[in-house]
Structure formats: structure tokens, C-alpha cells
Amino acid sequence: MVAASEVQTGLEASALWLRVQQWATELGFSQIGVADIDLGHAEPGLQAWLAAGFNGSMHYMSRHGMTRARPAELVNGTLRVLTARMDYLPRAGGSNEERAGGDWQAIEWQRLRSPGQATVSIYARGRDYHKVLRQRLQALADRIAQAVGPFGHRVFTDSAPVLEVELATRSGIGWRGKHTLTLHREAGSMFFLGEIYLDLPLPVTEGLEAHCGSCTACIDVCPTQAIVAPYRLDARRCISYLTIEHDGAIPVEFRAAIGNRIYGCDDCQLTCPWNKYAQRSALPDFDVRTPLGDATLLELWRWSEADFLRHTEGSAIRRIGHGRWQRNLAVAMGNALGSHASAEIKAALRTALVDAFDSASELLREHIDWALAQHNVGASAARPATATPAR
């Protein structure tokens, strides 16, 4: 065993790194890298983003300030950040994929054009990624400790003030796309990121050259124009923020654009040319849980709070609570009432909304009122579901 204090020379660190990569593969990670901790060049952009108020009601982002760009301030003694990628595109299967010849993007575009269907972001259809990555990152840290002895470290998965995309970019996990997500030529963007802050001087891995070129597909397709400039996202306009992070009324000006998206939005990823190379997950954790894959809006609307908690146990969806879940559904149901959906579907949705009104919270009543009003708006006035882009 090599003591942590002795991992100093390039030879020792390189030998350890080879073993760490092997362990990471065994634990289901798709790729790992190592970044240094000098992120000073990222601070001006972070400051400008916060100053513009693009974080919306995510006040914790401004509360932590520049700690995000200073790993050693977050975890004292940090010398390197081990970054990890885990692909989450569910393993192939099901009649829909068979009919579409395995083209998962085509399936998702079709879902968005089916107003009676509910669309949940792909990443949230399986087990909560926070739990999956955190457990496996800790297992990786434990293996390192077995090899070198006790060492200082802390595991993160979208759970602390960490500049995940910046660290992933610096360590070669990918490059920052114009939608602000990490992209890789051989994996697209359909993966989660996680980190281990550690006090071991592992060799830094090289970053990748960006390959977005002149492409603006993600910017052009965004339903709410949340990508206000290349590499710059106004979260206040983003459907993922509005349906997950935002806890009040959804601004009226964005409701029609939400379509049938009830938790998150994948449009910028669906249209990205690099995602034709997206990799299927090697883990069953991210397989689609029924009924999150193919449920209708009406089926999900009928869930009681107890049903919601039961169906979302172990899922990232549970954290938004039943109230926000119903708020999102009401908006989607309103969009269906103003769409090309059949008269039968519209009648059922309208009845369900009316029946729920008296027992609804004040917030939900406001969204039900808006939804019922869409029946008279008609499909011509509502923004249509995003069309499948040319690929």
C-alpha cells in the first residue's frame, strides 16, 4: 500500500491513476478525469451571471458566491478534483423503440407532439441520480483509501457550490456546449456529472477542444428562448427551472411554451447533433420506471399525494412535492385543451380540472383557471409543440 502522504512523484501518482480508472469502470462510470483547482478565470463569468439575476429564485447560488470557483475554500486542503461522467440514456427496450428503429430522439419528439401525453425529462425517469452517483463516488473514494491509506476528500453530485461543467471541461470530460451543458464527441450530453475533491496530487488530465462550431440548434429550438446567448442561460426562462426549481406561479408568458412538459425539458439536447452518439447507460438504475415513461396527463392528474409519494419513491421527482406536480400538470392540461387533441381527450381533461377546483390550493386554482381558459383559445393561438428538427 502506498501512503497518501507518499503519493508525490509523477510515477507514483500515474500508477495510482491507472488503478483509479479501472475501479471507476468497474463501478459503472463512463469516464473520469482530474482537474486542477485554479478556476480564477471562471469567476468573472459567474459574477456577471449572478449580477444579471439569471439564477432566479435559486438564491443559494448567490449566497455561496465565488466559493464555486474556489475548490480549496469549499474543502480545505483540496489539491485536485476528480471528475466523473455517468451515461444515463436508458437501456434500449419497449415497443416504442422497436417501432422507431431504436431512434430515441424521434420517440421524444413524437411524445412532445402528443398533447395528451405527459413528458418527463429523460434523466428523471429512473432512480434519483444523486443517490446513484454519490454512492458510487464514495465507493471509488473508499477504494482509493484502501490503496493509499486515509486521505482528505469529499464527494459531490449536484449538491454543493461546485462549478461542475467548468471542472468537467478542464479535465477532458467534454466541452461546454452553447446550451451550457457538457458535450463529448462520443457521448453527446446525456450524462450526469459528479466530483471528488481530494488532497492527492493526481496527474491532471487534458481538456478537449470545443466542437460546436457555428451550430445554433440548441439556441434556436429552446421553447422559451432561455439560451439568451451562446453559453449563457437565463434560468428564469428555462422550462426545467420553471417546472422544478420555481415554487410559485409559473409566469403566464411561458405557459403555452411548456406544452406537455411536466418535469424538466430536453429540447436543447434532443436537437443537438452530437447526441446521435449518446451512450446507453450500463446500469439498470436509469431504466424507465412505470408509469413515468408513457403516462397520460389525465392518469398523473388523478394521483393523490399518497400516490405521488409512492410512485416517486427513490426518484428525483419527489422533491418538487405534490403541489408543484399538480401545478405543472394543470399547465400541460391547459395546453392540451388549446391543442389539436381529440374532443374526447379535451372533455376528459376539462372535467378533471373542474372537479379538482374546489379542493385545490389557491396557487393550483389559479393554474386551473388559466388551463380551462385555453379551451377557448384554440390551437392557432397557442405555441405548437416543437417540430422535429432536420438532423
Which residues are part of the catalytic machinery? 158
Amino acid identity at 147: A
Residue given cell 405557459 in the structure block: 255
Cα-to-chain-centroid distance, residue 144: 29
Please state, in angstroms and rounded to a whole number, the distance separating the CA atoms of residues 43 and 352: 49
What is the DSSP-derived secondary structure letter of residue 277?
A: G
Q: What are phi and psi of 238, to 5 degrees?
A: -80, 130
Q: Going by DSSP bridges, is the β-strand pair 119-120/261-263 parallel, antiparallel, or unpaired? A: parallel
Q: Are 130 and 164 in contact (CB under 8 A)?
A: no
H or E element, residue 32 = strand 31-35
CA-CA distances (angstroms) from residue 198 to 49, 107, 127, 201, 337? 28, 41, 27, 8, 53
Residue 192: which region, alpha, beta or left (left: phi > 0; alpha: psi -120 to 50)?
beta
Amino acid identity at 234: D
Amino acid identity at 377: V
Q: What angle do CA 251, 263, 246 make, to 5 degrees?
A: 40
